[in-house]
Amino acid sequence: MSDKKTLNLQVSVHDLCTEFPELIEFMKEAGFPDIVKPGMLATAGRFMTLPKGAKMKGIELDQLVEKLRALGFEVES
């Protein structure tokens, strides 16, 4: 059985961070500082996906995916 954590890029940031709380700190460090603001995850996070957020912030999605894989995530699109 694999111990990889599967992360689907079509799932909302809110749902991903609920399933994998360690993503909050990762996202803050990766260029999404607003993720730690009270209420941000519960509001914008409910409709925002990682690809949408990366595009909005001018962050290369491929680099984000590489970093997630380095943390042990299996990334699906």
Amino acid identity of 24? I
Residue 38's pLDDT is 87
Q: Which residues, listed in sequence order, are joined to residue 75 by a DSSP beta bridge?
A: 7
Confidence bin at 2 (pLDDT 50/70/90): low
Q: How many domains does the chain have?
A: 1
Contact 70, 4 (CB under 8 A): no
pLDDT in tens, 17-72: 999 999 999 999 999 999 999 899 999 999 999 999 999 999 999 999 999 999 99
CATH code assigned at 63: 1.10.3910.10
Model's pTM, two decimal places?
0.90
1 has a pLDDT exceeding 70: no
pLDDT at 7 exceeding the cut of 90: yes
Domain that includes residue 22, residue range: 5-76
27/64 Cα distance (integer angstroms)? 9
3-class DSSP assignment, residue 73: strand
